[in-house]
Structure formats: C-alpha cells, structure tokens
C-alpha cells in the first residue's frame, strides 16, 4: 500500500511519514493490516531538513490547488491519504483567496482524486478547533455546533462536511480530526496565529529570545506532536463502523494558561529559559485567539481511544528528546 501525505514536508507530515515507515504496516478501514510499501510526501516546497534515505520514501512538489497536479499524485496503489496541506490561520485570514484555493479547493481536489480511484481509500483530514467560535459555552461538548469566526475555521468546517459527504456516498472512507494547538513545533515561526505557543518554548530552549503576543492568563487547548502523530495513525486504523455517520472527532488535549506553560518551561529548563520571553501584545493575533475555545469535553474522542498528554512538562521534554537531541541551552 502507498500512503500519500499532503503537506508532507511540514512538522507533523514528516514525523508521521517516519512513524509509518518504522511501523511498516497500516490497517485499513476493514481492519486488515497492510504493508506500507511506499510513502509519498507532497508539498509546495522541498523540505528544509533533508529526508532520510529510504527507498520507500519519495517527494513531490506542486500546488494543492491545481486539480491536475493532485490527480497526478495518485496511483492505484494509494490506500491511505493524509491531507495535512493548509494555509494556516493568520495566513488564511490575511489572504482570503489563497485560503480558499489551498484549504477548500485543495481538499476538494484530494477528495476527487481519491474518488477517481474507485477503491474508496482512507482519507484522514487535519481539521482544527478553529471550526468553533462566536458565543460558546465554557466547555465545548461533542454536540456543540460549528460556528467559526475566521476564514481558516470556515474553510476547515466546509472541508469536514465534504469528507462526510464523500464518505456517505462511498467515494472515500473519510475521517477528520479537530486538532488542538500542536506544540512544540521545531524550526522558525510560521503564519499561524498560535505560532507563539511553540516559540515561547522553542526559542528559550535554544538560547534565543521569544515574543509572546498574548497575556499570561490566556488559555490554550494543547496537544504534543507525539500524541498528534499517534492520533493520525489511529484515525486511519479505526474500522469504518466505529465512525458511523459522523466522520469528524474533536481530539482530547489539555488546557493550560500561558503562565502555566512558562512555569512548566522553568521546571524543565530553569529560570534562565523563562527570562528569555518578552511580552508584547499583538491585537491582530489576540482577535483571532479570542475566537478559539479553550476547554473541551471530548467524550467521543476518548471513547474512540484517542489520548491527551498528562503534563505540559512532558510535552516540553518530548520536544527536547525528539528535536533537540536531548540538549537545551540552560
């Protein structure tokens, strides 16, 4: 079986690919474990970090918004598609047309190419808690409706509905995961409104200054990279009947204030690390963040076997082990 990962050179896509190659097998929606013969990464650019030398791993670059480009990625051996490619929150808000092309039309292109195979491949969509917004209860339950207040959230909500409908028609075996903010991301800050949630941990651990654009009392719904990758693997391997008619699930996470995140950083790396954080309010970022929910009761996600991190200190320690070679600047 070939696995296709759009947005494959990104943080989660790369880690997911390496995990699948290491496992060597992936169960399909019928519960049949199949060997992973090939993993194709598709993205708009080549990766910043070289890919490992593995004959099963290949890279393709192009525009997810172009139907012909996407269709050319598919062969009859594609059994699972992880659709991670996206213009992130602030980027989609600043460039409406680009957000529509990548986040909505890109999803439609992936679904149409999957449909054309005639084999109903598994399609796992990376969605977001940005699908919620407006007047929300203090705790979001599984039955709360989607009311996005950003272009990114609206595009993700529409993509979820497409995955549901293509699955209902039998064109694909779709699943959509509403991800919390995933931390800690390596590399440089991106255009996500939540990029600071990684920066305030990553930069201090590298001996660099970080800017936090929101106040210490700001809450966030968080998930580690390890747990996110585990969730994508599990989402593909759950039998189709476990999902029923609703192919979307909100993943479990943990709620932490920025103050608690910084305290956890100090517990792991000391006061010198926390002293590298500078507080500088950004009204544009704050307006976006204010529209995101921060507390959930993800009963369905827990019932399906998805799990969250226990402590934020564990999230930081995992980043140090996985991305910094076990070392940080004290």
* Chain segment 173-205, per-residue pLDDT in tens: 999 999 999 999 998 888 788 899 999 999 999
The model's pTM is 0.94
Distance CA 213, CA 193 (A): 10
Whole-number percent of the chain with pLDDT over 70: 100
Kindly give the interhelix angle for 106-117 and 151-168, rounded to the nearest 10 degrees.
Answer: 10
* Rounded Cα–Cα distance for residues 199 and 209 (Å): 9
Report pLDDT digits (tens) over 111-165: 999 999 999 999 999 999 999 988 899 999 999 999 999 999 999 999 999 999 9
Structure tokens at 244: 């029923």
pLDDT on residue 102: 97
Report residue 263 as tokens.
Answer: 């305290």
Q: Which domains does the chain have, with CATH numbers?
A: 2-180+223-250 (3.40.50.720), 183-220+254-292+310-323 (3.90.25.10)
152 carries an active-site annotation: yes
Q: How far apart, in whole angstroms, are the C-alpha atoms of residue 65 and residue 85?
A: 10
Q: What is the pLDDT of residue 41?
A: 97
Fill in the DSSP letter of residue 98: H
Choosing from 82, 132, 152, 166, which is the catalytic residue? Answer: 152
pLDDT at 103: 97
Q: Which residue has the higher pLDDT, 123 or 288?
A: 123
Q: Is the pLDDT of residue 30 over 80?
A: no
CB 311, CB 265: distance < 8 Å: no
What pLDDT, on the 0 to 100 scale, is given for residue 190? 80
pLDDT over 80 (residue 248): yes
pLDDT at 215: 96
CB atoms inside a 10 Å sphere around CB 320 = 17
Rounded to the nearest integer, the mean pLDDT of the chain is: 95
Indicate the burial class of 118 (C-beta count within 10 angstroms; 0-12, 13-18, 19 or more): exposed
Which residues share a beta bridge with 27? 33
Has residue 207 got a pLDDT over 80?
yes
Q: Is the pLDDT of residue 275 over 90?
A: yes
**And the tokens for 294?**
């921060």
Q: Is residue 268 over pLDDT 90?
A: yes
pLDDT value at position 292? Answer: 84
Does residue 316 have a cis bond before it (omega within 30 degrees)?
no
Query: Radius of gyration of the chain from Cα atoms?
Result: 19
% the chain with pLDDT above 90: 87
Separation CA 64–CA 109 (nearest Å):
7
pLDDT at 229 over 80: yes
């Amino acid at each position: 079986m070939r696995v296709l990962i759009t947005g494959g050179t990104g943080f989660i896509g790369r880690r997911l690919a390496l995990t699948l190659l290491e496992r060597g097998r992936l169960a399909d929606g019928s519960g049949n474990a199949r060997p992973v013969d090939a993993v194709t990464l598709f993205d708009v650019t080549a990766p910043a970090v070289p890919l490992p030398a593995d004959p099963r791993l290949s890279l393709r670059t192009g525009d997810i918004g172009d139907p012909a480009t996407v269709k050319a990625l598919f062969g009859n051996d594609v059994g699972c598609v992880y659709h991670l490619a996206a213009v992130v929150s602030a980027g989609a808000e600043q460039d409406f047309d680009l957000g529509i092309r990548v986040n909505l039309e890109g999803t439609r292109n992936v679904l149409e190419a999957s449909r054309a195979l005639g084999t109903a491949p598994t399609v796992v969509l990376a969605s977001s808690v940005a699908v919620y917004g407006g007047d929300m209860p203090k705790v979001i339950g599984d039955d709360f409706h989607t009311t996005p207040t950003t272009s990114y959230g609206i595009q993700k909500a529409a993509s979820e509905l497409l995955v549901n409908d293509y699955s209902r028609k039998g064109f694909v075996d779709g699943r959509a995961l509403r991800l919390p903010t995933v931390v800690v991301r390596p590399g440089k800050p991106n255009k996500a409104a939540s990029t600071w949630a990684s920066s305030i941990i990553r930069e201090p651990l590298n001996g660099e200054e970080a800017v936090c654009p929101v106040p210490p009392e700001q809450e966030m719904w968080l998930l580690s990279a390890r747990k996110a990758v585990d969730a994508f693997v599990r989402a593909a391997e759950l039998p189709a009947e476990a999902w029923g008619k609703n192919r979307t699930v909100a993943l479990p996470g943990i709620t932490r204030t920025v103050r608690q995140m910084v305290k956890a950083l100090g517990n792991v790396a000391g006061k010198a690390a926390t002293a590298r954080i500078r507080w500088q309010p950004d009204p544009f970022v704050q307006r976006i963040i204010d529209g995101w929910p921060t507390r959930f009761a993800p009963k369905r996600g827990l019932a399906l076997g998805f799990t969250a991190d226990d402590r934020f200190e564990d999230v930081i320690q995992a980043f140090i082990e996985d991305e910094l070679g076990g070392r940080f600047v004290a």
